[in-house]
Chain A
Amino acid sequence: MTVTRDDIVDFVYEEARMLDEGRFSEWLDLWLPEGHYWMPLDYKQTDPHNMTSLLYEDDFMRKLRVERLNGERTFSQKPKSRCNHVIQRPFVDKFDAEAGEFETNTSMHYVETRLDEQFLLALTATHELKLVDGKLRIANKRVDLLNSDAAFGNIQLLP
């Protein structure tokens, strides 16, 4: 497969659509097992290990999060939350077709709702993608909330 810039951009759009449509199992399959989903707590945080983050999820935690959403006794998801990403066209910051490594930077507005509550987050998502066996996969993803240091209520789905 020859990867084009459009393929990279489409990938980011399609991932957002999967999350919005609740196709979480498909979303899990986008990931390379050793990848991390990182959402820093501090503005421009550089270290995910020695200070707190909002998320720094390996494949076990990603799977647990998704499994829990459908659990019989997951009371905070009865009723379920819904989410919506409105995304700006991604910047392709790295395009190394030879190595099969790509990086994007995407501004998004994320809305999550449950019952009568709804909130909006502005964020920048950074995707590191790799071409493995002819398919684009997520090697790492970082989500920087514009107000990561603000006090939030529950954020139950995936910004």
Chain B
Amino acid sequence: MIRLEKRPQPSRAFAYLTPVLAVLATFVFGGILFAALGKDPVQSILTIFWEPLFGEFAFFYRPQLLIKGAPLVLIAIGLSLGFKAGIWNIGAEGQYIMGALCGAGFGLAFYPAESALIFPGMVLAGAFGGWLWAMIPALLKVRFGTNEILVSLMLVYVAEQFLASMSLGLLKNPEGFGFPGSRNLQQYQSAHNAELIAGSGMHWGVVAALIAVIFAYVLLARHRLGFAVRVTGDAPRAARFAGVNPSRLILFCLGTSGLLAGLAGLFEVAGPAGQVSIDFNVGYGFTAIIVAFLGRLHPVGIVLAGLLMALTYIGGDIAQSQLGLPAAAIQVFQGMLLFFLLALDLFTNYRLRIGRVETA
């Protein structure tokens, strides 16, 4: 007879061990999947995890990890604050889009003037756009008690329509022969979020992500507001007695996550992506939810999780091209990682008991 027994205290050892075990389990079952597809399992896994970090062209892939990971980390940090407090912003994708639109719109309004003030202005506009979009579910929740999960998610689709409209109308490149999409900000010096050191992948978005990580760490560990976030998530009633104002906490958590998502959008549109286009958003806002949980809602964990996700994306594309693995197999592989992590997570709070059940 096997049964689960709740641990009196969550196991610290298991909390640290589960990510490692999950990765190992993914290697084993992923390897079986790749073998079933007729590929060498060891080589496949090496291509995904080793090639980008230490392979022949690692000089190119390592910076790419930063480019791919930065928006994930930046968004996930913001989301984790709310998630800790039980405030569920599922619409970071929409806030990401609105941040990009506001920021890019601000910059393009000055085209072709060159000024050192344009980029900082775009950053502020981007942050404002994301914050504003998150304030809609926040205010509706505070004022009318609406469900922020539904409202924030639905606003993603509104933002996508807005993005399409902007790409086809207001922000359309007047020299683009009628094709949708804005001017390329990479070719507009004052608005370009260029690499700080060429070839390093370090752009302002990476810097912002690092600052956000430190900010979140200090906030949660040292600040009263961080205490309010944690206690609200753990024991909402106790939080009220401790003098936490739930409305202000909702506004803070949704506002901050929207602001960071907006910043991520701005840095992406002004840098790696370069232009506002109908397909500008590629799901960072949704993937960041996974990153936040994969990183245990802990700032340092989120950095590691963001880099791990970025690694599987980059390594996955290499495996497709070099080994002919189908994209779907890579997605299954990524899914396995999350599945095993969540499944093994059970053992942090429960342990297996093998033996007879004592009946009363």
Judge: A and B partners, yes or no. Answer: no
